Each structure stands twice: as structure tokens, then as C-alpha cells.
Chains A and B, each alone.
Chain A
Amino acid sequence: MTTDAPALRRTTRRSRPRDTAVKTGSSGILLIVAFLFCIPLVWVILASFDKNASLAVAWPGSPTFDNYRGVLNEKTTYRPIWNSLLLCGGGTILTVVCAALAAYPLSRYRSRATRPFLMTIIFASGLPLTAIMIPVYAMFVQVNLIDSMPAAAVFLAASSLPYAIFLMKNFMDGVPQELEESAWTEGAGMVRTLWSIVLPLMRPGTAVVTMLTFVGMWGNFFVPFMLLLSPDKLPAAVSLFTFSSQYGQVQYGQLAAFSILYSLPVALLYLLLGRRLRDGFVAAGGVKG
């Protein structure tokens, strides 16, 4: 540390003007990008407080909560959000449990089958989900599972499993094995070891997997749109789409207010776990295993 300090200081001093210029330039460009990215968001925020909202951005003449009051009722907001919670919460729990179980042998034991299995998983995680929705619909019709929330949740879980297993395995690889060895010698079973030793050590990783899975399901439109029919079972993604027809004439202010209410849970989740999100991408980059 002491020996490094003078050299470090010299480098800093020598390159300071250039570095400052680069820093200012980069920051400037990024601020412009951030501004441009914000523009489409401005409408939804302003319109949600505007009683007479139109399609164009406008400063609400007299800001009001009327739009929120208008949508905060069982039929418009509470039930769809509750349905989303059931569908995505159930799906996420199933995904994370199955992914954690599957990742354990993949991470801990070497086998000739591990590599092909992982390759299959990577390939399946890229499978365009849209392309299999017609056969899924046809299958669900045949076994009478259309319009069943549990069935839709299980399908959502299965479709997010490949990526979840892949991420979970990479996080698990980062947990040293020594701690488990002693648990093994003391006779703890595999599931017990996983639950009480490995998972607590990779809590940030599990959090990232859980969050990414949940956010993916929360925003998914096509799956519930195809598999659910009854208005009282529709999650927010689909009810938002049917919003305009419910009212005859589109109430843009209410549409904006509901959009915000519907986006809020995932935005909060992101704020809670935001910094850890990067760990997830570092782990996903470590495909080598």
C-alpha cells in the first residue's frame, strides 16, 4: 500500500486533465441519453394526475387524484393486481424451488451429462416462447386447463425455469464446497444441506433469480392472454389491454393511473434489489463451468 501510493499519485496527476475531459464528455452524453429515455415516461406520470388527459404530454391544469380514485376499485385495480400476485407469486415460488434443487447436483457433481444438460438449458432459455403458445393452447384445451390460474402459473414457471436454473447454477458455483463437506459427514441429506447451508450463503444470488423471474412474469402479456379467459381471473397485464373496451371511450388519465399502479410493484422490487442485479449479469456471463 505504502509503496504503491507515490506511483499511484503520479499517474493520477499526469492524466488528470484528460480524464476529466473524458469524464465530462461521457457524463454529458449519458445525461442526454437518460433524458431521451425519460420522454415516453413523462406522459404517463403527468396524464395520471390530469382529469382531461389526452394523448399528448400536457401539464395538468389542476393536478388531481381523481384518476387514481377512479381506478382504485375492486373491478379495475384490486382484482387484476391480486390475480397478478397469485399468478406470478405462485409461478415464481415454483420456479425458484425447482431451480435451486436442479442447480445443486449440476453445481456439485461432475458428470458426462452435466454439459449437454446445461447446453439444453441455455438453448431452451432462448426458445421463442411466442412460437409455442398455439400448441400450448391446443394442449390446454384438450386437458381442460384453459382458464385455470394454477395451470397458467405452472406454465409460466416452466417457461422461466431454464434461465433460472442457469443463473442459480452459476451463483452456486461461487459458494465454496468445504462447508458442505462437514454437513455431509454429519449425515445431513442433500436437501437439508442445500436448504440450511448453500442457500443462506447465496442469498443475494437467490434474490436476483427471484426478482428476475417475478419481473418477467409480472410483465408477461401473451401467456395469460392466451390461457385465461374469465374477466375475474385476468391479471393486470391483460386487464390493462382490455381497459379501453371496458369504458367505451378511452379515459387516458385513468389508463395512465392504472399503468402506474401496475408498474409500481416491480419498480419497488427493483429499487430494493437494484444493486444486486449486476451480480446476476456477472454470474450469467460466467457461462464457463
Chain B
Amino acid sequence: MAAVAETSTLTTGPGRTNDRDPARTARRGMPLLPAVALLLIFMAGPVIYSIYLAFTNKALRGEGADHTSLVGLTNFTDAFAKADFWNAMWLTLVFTVVSGVIGQNLLGMALALLLRKCAAWVSWLTGTVVIGAWIIPEVVAGYLWYTFLSGDGSLNKVFDWFGLGPQDWLISAPIVAVSFANIWRGTAFSMLTYSAALSQLDPEVEESAAIDGAGPLRRFWSITVPLIRRSIMTNLLLTTLQTLSVFGLIFVMTGGGPGTKSQTLPLYMYQQAFSFGQLGYGTAVALVLLLVGGVAALAYLKVLPKEDLT
């Protein structure tokens, strides 16, 4: 994974003497060592280990705990045969698309656009509140939304006030509830990314388009979006991957329930590995989750023209 750095042949910069002394190269690569060592042991290591674990019957108790043995593709075929697995897969996709790809990105973009055109104090206030939601710890955010949406919670009080019947969102539509919470929590990231991208734009380009008679929507689609395409793709990728791995928020709000109605892949994986003790099976599910992330990453990279990368 990060092994490239160790064998790196650091050549000299344009303004420097042009020798390729290996000792010098090694010396220059030295500062990378602590980071590379940490990444190899704690990031690449677990990824490789998970590829092994997923093909074993390793368990916390019972047979798999005493004698761990390779079981081939059994974990995967088991998973693909289970309705609970497909339920988790489906909920993960809904959660990721609704709260990450659509919710956080659209709201973040809308906020970034509006922030450019509003009064200074409003920009400060909105920025602070939205970033505040992002910066508070995950578990706290989970409790806030739990109390807000639960049966005796604040939202139902408002509903009562309007003469509407009570609705227990956490029971009737838990995946919608956690999606809303995740939009609330994660929008700041998209807002900051898009604000930064928009602040880099040259205002004259848009102004001249406006003089040529292009309306705001047309200016946005034909000028702004192509110019910040790279930020949009990077942000879509990052929010997708972040949303795929959300665990604490859902765990605190619904615990995956009621039943399995909000059990996304990370919660399913956790339940299988620790409540049922099936480490091998849980790792196989985790590997599928990694694969989904990898496919999403490749899809975004494919859309992005090559010269835009790094």
C-alpha cells in the first residue's frame, strides 16, 4: 500500500545539482519512515490481515476459537445467501445516497453559494452553527437526534402543537431518521470544501457571462460547475466513503433497529463479529464494505479526466 515510499528514488529538484547518489536519496527519504512504518503496520497490515481472516472460521467462542481454519469462500456464500446481509447492503446504499451523495452535497453546495451573497453577520452565524453541528462529537450528535425524534421528543411536541398526531420516526422510518441526522452532521464538510473552491474562482469570468446574458442557473451549470469539477468529484468521493463507514451515529440513535430496519453494513458487521462472535464472517462483510468503497472510488476517478489527478 504505502510501500512505494521505501524504495522511492528521490531525484533532485530543478534548481539543484543533478546527481543520483543513492545515499543522498536514502537520506532524503528518511523523514518519511515514521509515517510509512505506522501506515504499514496499522493500516496496510489490517487490510491484508482482513483478506486472510475473511476466509477463515475464526470466532470469539466455540469451534472457530479453538482451531481457526481456512474455509474458502464459505463466509461469502453464507453472506450472499442471507436476507439480513442484502437488507444491510440495501440500507447502506440508501443511507449513503440519500444522506451523503444527495443530502450533504446539495445542501453544502447551496449553502456555499448562498454564503457568497449574504450579509456578513449572517454568513458568520450560519457558518458557526453548521460547523458546530460537524464539530460536536458523534455520540453527542446521536443523542441529540435521538431525543429530538423519539416518541416523547421535541419534534412530536411541535407536531402536537399543530394538532398533528405523534410520529415515532425512530420506529416507523429509522433509516430516514438517521439519514437526516447524518445530513445535519456532515453538511459542514461539503460546505467548507465548496466555499473554498468557489473562493478560488475568478469573479470576472462569471461577470462577463452575466453581461452576455446568461442567467444564474445557466452560469452555474456552464461555468461554475465545470470550473470546480475537481472539488465536486473529490468531495463526492470523500462524503461517499465517510458515509459508508458511519457507525456511532446509527449505533447510538437506533442500534440498527427496530429489528434490522436501520442496520447498515457496519452495524451488521459489528453484530455478526461481536454479538454472535463470528470474527471471520464479520470480516468477510467488512471486506465487502471495503469493496463497495473501492468501486465507488473507481467510479468517481473514472469520471474525472486524467490530467485532473494530483
Identify the A interface with B (CB < 8 A): 22-23, 26-27, 29-31, 33-34, 37-44, 47, 54-57, 94, 97-99, 101-102, 104-106, 108-136, 138-139, 154-155, 157-159, 161-162, 165, 177, 181, 190-191, 194, 215, 218-222, 225, 236-237, 240-241, 252, 255, 259, 262-263, 266-267, 270, 274, 277-278, 281-282, 284-285, 287-289
Q: Distance in Å from the Cβ of A17 to the closest Cβ of chain B? A: 14
Instruction: List 27 A-B residue pairs with CB atoms under 8 Å apart, sorted by A's residue number.
Output: A26-B115, A31-B125, A56-B157, A101-B32, A105-B10, A105-B32, A109-B11, A110-B13, A111-B10, A112-B11, A115-B310, A117-B2, A130-B245, A131-B289, A138-B49, A161-B39, A177-B15, A190-B27, A190-B28, A190-B30, A218-B137, A236-B137, A262-B137, A263-B135, A263-B140, A281-B195, A285-B230
The answer to whether the Cβ of B237 comes within 8 Å of any Cβ in the partner chain is yes
Q: How far is the CA of A212 from the CA of B286 in the complex (A)?
A: 26
Q: Is the CB of A285 within 8 A of B200?
A: yes
Q: Give the interface centre of A55, A110, A132, A155 by most chain B CB atoms within 10 Å.
A: A132
The answer to whether the Cβ of B138 comes within 8 Å of any Cβ in the partner chain is yes
* Total number of B residues with any Cβ neighbor in A under 8 Å: 105
Given contacts A39-B154, A56-B157, A101-B34, contact A240 B139 (CB under 8 A): yes
User: What B residues does A288 contact at CB under 8 A?
Assistant: 308, 310
User: In this complex, what residue of A is CB-closest to B151?
Assistant: A55
User: In this complex, what residue of B is CB-closest to A221?
Assistant: B248
User: What B residues does A161 contact at CB under 8 A?
Assistant: 35, 38-39, 43
Q: How far is the CA of A190 from the CA of B29 in the complex (A)?
A: 11
Given contacts A109-B13, A135-B283, A278-B192, contact A56 B50 (CB under 8 A): no
The answer to whether the Cβ of B199 comes within 8 Å of any Cβ in the partner chain is yes
Q: Is the CB of A43 within 8 A of B50?
A: no
User: What B residues does A252 contact at CB under 8 A?
Assistant: 147
Q: How far is the CA of A124 from the CA of B1 in the complex (A)?
A: 9
Contact of B266 among A44, A131, A287 (CB under 8 A): A131
Q: How far is the CA of A158 from the CA of B293 in the complex (A)?
A: 20
Q: How far is the CA of A263 from the CA of B53 in the complex (A)?
A: 37
The answer to whether the Cβ of B244 comes within 8 Å of any Cβ in the partner chain is yes
> Which B residues between 149 and 165 are near A, CB-CB below 8 angstroms?
150-154, 156-157
User: In this complex, what residue of A is CB-closest to B187?
Assistant: A37
Seed contacts A39-B148, A55-B150; 4 additional CB < 8 Å A-B pairs: A43-B148, A130-B247, A131-B289, A158-B38
The answer to whether the Cβ of B197 comes within 8 Å of any Cβ in the partner chain is yes
Total of A-B residue pairs, C-beta within 8 Å? 315
User: What B residues does A190 contact at CB under 8 A?
Assistant: 27-28, 30-31
The answer to whether the Cβ of B81 comes within 8 Å of any Cβ in the partner chain is no
User: What A residues does B167 contact at CB under 8 A?
Assistant: none
User: What A residues does B184 contact at CB under 8 A?
Assistant: 37, 40
Q: Is the CB of A135 within 8 A of B293?
A: no
Secondary structure of the B side of the interface? Answer: helix
Q: How far is the CA of A23 from the CA of B114 in the complex (A)?
A: 9
Given contacts A240-B139, A263-B140, contact A124 B2 (CB under 8 A): yes
Q: Is the CB of B293 within 8 A of A56?
A: no
Q: Is the CB of B114 within 8 A of A26?
A: yes
Q: Distance in Å from the Cβ of A185 to the closest Cβ of chain B? A: 12
Q: How far is the CA of A219 from the CA of B248 in the complex (A)?
A: 10
Q: How far is the CA of A285 from the CA of B229 in the complex (A)?
A: 11
Q: Is the CB of A98 within 8 A of B34?
A: yes
> Which B residues between 1 and 40 are near A, CB-CB below 8 angstroms?
1-2, 4-5, 7-15, 27-32, 34-36, 38-39
User: What B residues does A98 contact at CB under 8 A?
Assistant: 34-35, 38
User: What B residues does A112 contact at CB under 8 A?
Assistant: 8-9, 11
User: What A residues does B234 contact at CB under 8 A?
Assistant: 285, 287
Q: Distance in Å from the Cβ of B32 to the closest Cβ of chain A? A: 5
Q: Is the CB of A162 within 8 A of B131?
A: no
Q: Is the CB of A130 within 8 A of B266?
A: yes
The answer to whether the Cβ of B241 comes within 8 Å of any Cβ in the partner chain is yes
Given contacts A56-B157, A267-B132, contact A113 B7 (CB under 8 A): yes
The answer to whether the Cβ of B287 comes within 8 Å of any Cβ in the partner chain is yes
Q: Is the CB of A129 within 8 A of B126?
A: no
Q: Distance in Å from the Cβ of B173 to the closest Cβ of chain A? A: 17
Q: How far is the CA of A97 from the CA of B154 in the complex (A)?
A: 45
Q: Is the CB of A132 within 8 A of B248?
A: no
User: What A residues does B135 contact at CB under 8 A?
Assistant: 215, 219, 263, 266-267, 270
> Which B residues between 245 and 286 are near A, CB-CB below 8 angstroms?
245-248, 251-252, 266, 269, 273, 279, 282-283, 286
Q: Is the CB of B266 within 8 A of A159?
A: no
Q: Which of B82-90, B116-124, B218-226 contacts A (4 or more CB under 8 A)?
A: B116-124
Q: Distance in Å from the Cβ of B252 to the closest Cβ of chain A? A: 7
Given contacts A44-B144, A104-B31, A289-B310, contact A113 B38 (CB under 8 A): no
Q: Is the CB of A34 within 8 A of B130?
A: yes
User: What A residues does B156 contact at CB under 8 A?
Assistant: 56
User: What B residues does A125 contact at CB under 8 A?
Assistant: 238
Contact of A43 among B144, B199, B251, B273 (CB under 8 A): B144
Q: How far is the CA of A126 from the CA of B245 in the complex (A)?
A: 10
Q: Is the CB of B310 within 8 A of A139?
A: no
Q: Is the CB of A132 within 8 A of B35?
A: no
Q: Is the CB of B297 within 8 A of A126?
A: yes
User: In this complex, what residue of A is CB-closest to B238?
Assistant: A126
